[in-house]
Amino acid sequence: MAVVPILEYPHSILRQRAKSVASIDKTVFRLADDLMDTLVDSGGVGLAANQIGSLRRLIALKMPEDEEPSVYINPRIVRREGVREVSEGCLSFPDHYGIVQRSMWVSVTGLDRKTNMFRICADGLLAQAFEHETDHLDGILFIDHLLSHQHLYEYPDEEADSEHEPSDERLVDAVQ
């Protein structure tokens, strides 16, 4: 179990498609533990295997209300409904966020940490996280979903010149 470095854009592995896990062995459990440890250490909501340099279909999620992270093996979104606009960031794009379109809810299947089959219907942040992380496994990044180039913002640096910070007004415009 280890906290490992999170790869940042434009690292090429973030654009590659991860392969399904065909057999569960010790290396899968080790990767699952690394994913969970690294996610918890980062304080983020989700992390995909690509982001720590592995092209296997594993993701880890930890909602703000969760005490422990969860790992999903070969997660697959089998149904999605509705469209909404949400603010989104990514651990591979430190300090950036943008407005993207995501589903209202999703239905996801795969294997859990104990290799049991699961099927989860999710809405809200959990649905968004499943979409974001399964995208990673296909080499798709949240910037691919940006509504326009104007919608990628840098979080204001406290030291930065205030003239270069995105104003609240611009943000409100972006959401509309």
Q: Known catalytic residues?
A: 133
CB 146 to Zn ion: min, Å: 13
As measured in angstroms, the least distance from the Cβ of 75 to Zn ion is 14
Whole-angstrom distance, CA of residue 32 vs CA of residue 47: 11
Q: How far apart are CA 13 and CA 136, in angstroms?
A: 10
Can residue 137 be called a binding residue for Zn ion (CB under 5 A)? no
Choose the binding region for Zn ion from 63-71, 89-97, 119-127, 147-155 (rule: CB under 5 A): 89-97
Strand 58-61 with 152-154, pairing = unpaired
Task: Using CB under 5 A, count the residues that bind Zn ion.
Answer: 1
Q: Which is nearer to Zn ion, 37 or 133 (CB)?
A: 133
Q: Please state the closest distance from residue 164 (CB atom) to Zn ion, in A.
A: 25
Q: For residues 111 and 10, what is the distance between their CA atoms, to the nearest angstrom?
A: 30
Nearer to Zn ion, 140 or 165 (CB): 140
- Match 């720590």 to its residue by tokens: 52
Select the span of 84-92, 143-151, 157-165, 167-175 touching Zn ion (CB under 5 A). 84-92
Q: What would the two tokens of residue 148 be?
A: 């326009």
**CB of 170 vs Zn ion, minimal distance in Å:** 24
Distance CA 98, CA 74 (A): 27
Among 18, 28, 59, 90, binds Zn ion (CB under 5 A): 90
Alpha-carbon distance values, 154 to 9, 32, 94 (Å): 14, 31, 9
Q: Is residue 127 within 8 Å of residue 103, measured between CB atoms? A: yes
Window of 14-22, 82-90, 103-111, 166-174 that interacts with Zn ion by CB under 5 A? 82-90
